[in-house]
């Protein structure tokens, strides 16, 4: 049986050294049947010139104007892959600010072949302390919460796009990420949850490890104050994107009442914190 092509989609923007380090990891992979799809979203730090000068096997560079962000970059990558790939092939969502072992892709491919109706995520690990980090998410539709989980054994409702393998057949049924509602954060979680709602299992491969920073990628937005924390598109706590998330996923009645329920949930949590009843 011919090995499937793994299309590795990696959004990049203005971090040349980080991108170059990622390529070192990628070029050491034991699995060879890959196509690297880098989406350069208008970098101005020499990343574009660096990529153009590479003698890289099976490299495709897609260009953005600086306004794609993660969701938009992944969307055009998925559209490209859907137009190029066969039904047996796979998409691997990746970030460039990670480390991976040489067998990373090989392990994920093996897991998808063992479980052909599954979307397979990687084990997330703190690159400094080498301890397991939240590797998936549970969604509470009633409380309107998205809670991280460190357990790789329990069932997940959503998986992060930092190392998740998606069969092309799943993309054909589920489409691409929704970058209009989720330009930067939540597009990966909404997409994998959408796939689960349409019958795909979500698994985590313990032999495929993503080494990443324990510091949240939106820490700068969080540190700028309340307005930035809840309104910035660079914040995971963006109110409008949270409401949009629960407006498009979950039971229909709960989706239709997402706005008033979210306001109620926020108020109840605030009162609970004031009374010392909630975190």
DSSP type of residue 217: T
Q: Is 244 left (phi over 0), alpha (psi -120 to 50) or beta?
A: alpha
Per the structure block, which two tokens stand in for 5? Answer: 């092509």
CATH number of the domain residue 152 falls in: 3.90.550.60
Residue whose C-alpha is closest to residue 241's, from 165, 170, 189, 167? 189
Say what the pLDDT of residue 262 is.
Answer: 85
Q: Which domain-ending residue is among 160, 193, 214?
A: 214
Any domain includes 262: yes
139 and 197 share a domain? yes
Least confident stretch, 125-129, 162-166, 169-173, 253-257 = 125-129
Any domain includes 1: no
Domain range for 274 is 215-279
146 and 195 share a domain? yes
82 and 159 share a domain? yes
β-pair partners for 100? 210
Q: What is the rounded distance in angstroms from the CA atom of residue 196 to the CA atom of residue 120?
A: 12
221 and 104 share a domain? no
Q: What is the total count of domains within the chain? A: 2
Strands 34-41 and 59-64: parallel
- The Cα angle at residue 149 between residues 19 and 112, in degrees rounded to 5: 65
- pTM for this prediction: 0.91
User: Tens digit of pLDDT for each residue in 214-248?
Assistant: 776 656 656 666 667 666 766 777 889 999 999 99
Query: Does the pLDDT value for residue 265 go beyond 80?
Result: no
94 and 183 share a domain? yes
User: Tens digit of pLDDT for each residue in 47-106?
Assistant: 999 999 998 889 999 999 999 999 999 999 999 999 999 999 999 999 999 999 999 999
């Amino acid at each position: 049986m011919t090995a499937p092509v793994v299309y590795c989609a990696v959004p990049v923007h203005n971090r040349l050294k980080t991108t170059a380090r990622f390529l070192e990891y990628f070029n050491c992979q034991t699995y060879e049947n890959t196509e690297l799809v880098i989406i350069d979203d208008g970098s101005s730090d020499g990343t574009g010139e660096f990529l153009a000068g590479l003698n890289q096997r099976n490299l495709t560079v897609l260009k953005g104007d600086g306004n794609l962000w993660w969701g938009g970059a992944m969307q055009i990558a998925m559209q490209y892959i859907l137009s190029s790939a066969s039904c047996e092939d796979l998409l691997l969502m990746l970030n460039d600010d990670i480390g991976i072992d040489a067998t990373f892709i090989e392990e994920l491919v093996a897991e998808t072949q063992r479980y052909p109706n599954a979307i397979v995520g990687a084990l997330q690990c703190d690159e400094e302390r080498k301890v397991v980090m939240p590797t998936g998410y549970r969604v509470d539709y009633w409380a309107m919460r998205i809670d991280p989980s460190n357990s790789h054994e329990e069932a997940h409702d959503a998986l992060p796009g930092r190392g998740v393998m998606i069969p092309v057949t799943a993309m054909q049924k589920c489409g691409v990420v929704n970058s209009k509602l989720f330009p930067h954060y939540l597009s990966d979680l909404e997409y994998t949850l959408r796939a689960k709602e349409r019958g795909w299992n979500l698994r985590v491969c313990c032999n495929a490890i993503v080494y990443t920073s324990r510091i949240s990628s939106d820490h700068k937005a969080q540190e700028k104050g309340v307005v930035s924390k809840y309104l910035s598109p660079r914040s995971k706590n963006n109110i409008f994107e949270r409401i949009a998330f629960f407006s498009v996923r979950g039971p229909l009645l709960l989706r239709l009442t997402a706005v008033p329920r979210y306001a109620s949930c926020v108020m109840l949590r605030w009162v609970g914190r004031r009374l010392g009843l909630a975190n």
